[in-house]
Homo-oligomer: A and B are copies of this chain.
Amino acid sequence: MNEGVEWALHSCLNLAWIGGERAVTAARLAAYHDLPAAYLNKQLQALVRAGVLVSVSGPKGGFRLARSLERITLMDVVTAIEGPDEAFRCTEIRAHGPSGGGDGKAPAVECAIAGAMGRAELAWRRELAARTLDDVRLQAERQAPGAPDRVRRWFAGT
């Protein structure tokens, strides 16, 4: 999985802690975790296209959350960064070579391998879709009670 998923998730939490109204540049969000700004900017743009963030232009421009963390799931962020494709991509090798009927077409029935791999992936997606970024924020604040204040102070001072 692209490391941008980790960066995107942390940046969403940071934006929530900073507060909803203020837009923050990719450069500042990147600086807080010492990340490459241009590459983080690419991930943030993907979150904008997915409707997770809003991009604000102008001198006070940057990024802010498009909706509250309760309405953003882990799945939203993973899909925004990784794309919608399944991790296991069935290329229907059943259709190729002597295993196929010679017409290059796969059998009409689903491949049992693709089915089993797909069910496992569904379990993963179901977990990601069931967890909102607000669940993650609550857990983060339980584990690191000083985090929100530290974020707020640092971004206020810059």
Contacts and interface: CB of A to CB of B under 8 A. Distances in A.
A83 interface: no
A140 B5 CA distance: 35
A117 to B, nearest CB: 7
Secondary structure call for the A interface: helix
Interface in A131-154: 131, 135-137, 139-140, 142-144, 150-151, 154
A110 to B, nearest CB: 7
Contact of A127 (B109, B111, B113, B123): B123
Interface in A45-83: 74
For chain A, which range describes its interface: under 10, 10 to 19, 20 to 34, or 35 or more residues?
A: 35 or more
A125 to B, nearest CB: 8
Number of copies of this kind of chain in the complex: 2
A1 B1 CA distance: 9
Interface string A84-115: 00011111011011110000000101111111
A120 B128 contact: yes
A150 to B, nearest CB: 7
A107 B142 CA distance: 13
A72 to B, nearest CB: 12
